[in-house]
Structure 1
Amino acid sequence: MMRAVIWDFDGTLGYRGGSDASGGAWTTSLWEVLQAEVPGCGVTKEQLRPYMRAGFPWHEPDSAHTHVKSADGWWQMVEPLFTRAYTAVGFDYKRAQRFASLFRATYLDLDRWCVYHDVIPVLNVLSSAGWTHIMLSNHVPELRDIVSHLGLAPYFAEIFNSAEIGYEKPNPRAFQIALDALPDVEEVWMVGDSMEADVTGALGVGIPAILVRREHPDARLYAETLLDVPVILSH
């Protein structure tokens, strides 16, 4: 009997350090570019944050982007969002474009990425119990590099990344691509920190789901930490 868990990555298994209540990974990376290029400019994360709330592929999950065939092409698609943010906080267009061109390297600084303390123990417990691990994440093209750097790659039979497959969760096609990699599976679950992308998306294609780390009133199954996931799966 093959059993599998489909895991989200960002906010579930790992995260980019330096983020806080004033700004997530994207906002923080925008701000870090400014700290390196124009220290003391006075721009805050709070000023930048509104411009990261729309425009990314995962903000329009009903629209496929299978036409984007390379990592460079993906970043070219989103770079205007960074330029917009920098111009909105007062920089001229030419400087904003230059700052935007530096965003990718800043965001992808592998030393900034971390794995939650409960991840490895839970992956080991479930692997020992016969569960297969699949990753399905809305992320940047370099997700595999991040996962490898964190030492997580050996745990996963497959890694599906929206930047590569062209579909964002909760689009049913994203989940179907993951399911197609599990033709003999008899039991499959989704685990993630987003009610909309992970839980609602999975339930929409008949996959039971566990919300983790970020509580939501509509979640039927919730685990504050991943340590509770094996308990839920055993029932």
Structure 2
Amino acid sequence: MPPLLIWDFDGTLAHRPGLWSGALLDVLDQQRPGHGVTLEALRPGLAQGFRWHRPEQAHPRQTHPDAWWAELDHVFLAAYRGAGVAAADAAALVPLMRAAYLAPAAWRLYPETLPVLRVLQSRGWRHVVLSNHVPELEQVLDALGLTPLLDTVYTSAALGWEKPHPEAFRAVLRAHPEAAPVWMIGDSLTADVQGAGGVGLPAILVRSGEQSPHVSADLWGVLRLVGTPDVSARP
């Protein structure tokens, strides 16, 4: 039975500097240079309104990407207005958020992501991504060069469930009934570690200062924790 690793994406394999507030700021920088707004001023407006803020609720499956993004218009508008952006400017900036967030140049792979995935793949491990993310997650992964290393990509925008809900993990397990062992790797104690534990999966917490039975500061530690050490692969 082939072993399977379920990877979170954002904050685990790659990151977008500033996250959602960074994208809001990017749009401001491009469209209203000299605006004076900071990341810290934008963040409070993003504390609610995303589907993953309500993981206990089921959401429509296979939502059209346009409809998924339209759900966030009021969130982005509130964040801009809360940071002091004029109403007319905020309304003009919101439609630009989608392209800004998805821009390939805005995303950064962690330096060890590709070598670690390649070593694990060479040892027989299969990789899938399970992430609370946008409908276009596969496009982002492809732009980062991850597609050849992945069997399947599961984004919550299509699943209809957000981690840590058990149904998000069960969707992966149902699609890979023969896989064993199966591990979850992610940077969130709640969404990744506790969520995986809810369906009986072990998990590795990475890039986090929180405590968990299996912890690693980076992805190199995953090799040891899943029983595939390869010291020669590490620079």
TM-score by structure 2 length? 0.93
Taking the aligned partners of 2:74 and 2:10, their CA distance within structure 1 comes to 23
Q: Which moved more, 1:49-58 or 1:194-203?
A: 49-58
Query: Are 1:58 and 2:46 matched, yes or no?
Result: no
- Aligned CA RMSD, in angstroms, stands at 1.3
**Distance apart, 1:33 and its partner CA:** 1.2
| 2:66 alignment counterpart | 72
Number of residue pairs aligned between Structure 1 and Structure 2: 228
* Contact map agreement 1:68 1:74 (CA 8 A) in 2: no
| 1:231 alignment counterpart | 224
Query: Are 1:86 and 2:41 matched, yes or no?
Result: no
Taking the aligned partners of 1:91 and 1:69, their CA distance within structure 2 comes to 30
Q: Quick one: which of 193, 212, 215 aligns to 1:222?
A: 215
Query: Are 1:158 and 2:167 matched, yes or no?
Result: no
Structure 1 segments unaligned to the other structure (5+ residues): none
Taking the aligned partners of 2:226 and 2:142, their CA distance within structure 1 comes to 26
What is the letter of the counterpart of residue 14 of structure 1? A
Deviating above 4 A after TM superposition, structure 1's stretches of 4 or more consecutive aligned residues are: none
| 2:199 alignment counterpart | 205
Taking the aligned partners of 1:79 and 1:68, their CA distance within structure 2 comes to 19
| 2:39 alignment counterpart | 45
**1:91 and 1:68, CA in 2 relative to 1: closer, same or farther beyond 3 A?**
farther
* Contact map agreement 2:61 2:157 (CA 8 A) in 1: no
Taking the aligned partners of 1:9 and 1:141, their CA distance within structure 2 comes to 13
**Distance apart, 1:128 and its partner CA:** 1.3
Structure 2 segments unaligned to the other structure (5+ residues): 229-235
What is the letter of the counterpart of residue 220 of structure 1? P
**Distance apart, 1:131 and its partner CA:** 0.8
How does 1:19-38 map onto structure 2 within 5 Å?
19=17, 24-38=18-32
Question: Percent same amino acid at aligned positions?
Answer: 44
How does 1:139-158 map onto structure 2 within 5 Å?
139-158=133-152
* Contact map agreement 1:215 1:222 (CA 8 A) in 2: no
What is the letter of the counterpart of residue 3 of structure 1? P
* Contact map agreement 1:138 1:161 (CA 8 A) in 2: yes
What is the letter of the counterpart of residue 201 of structure 1? G
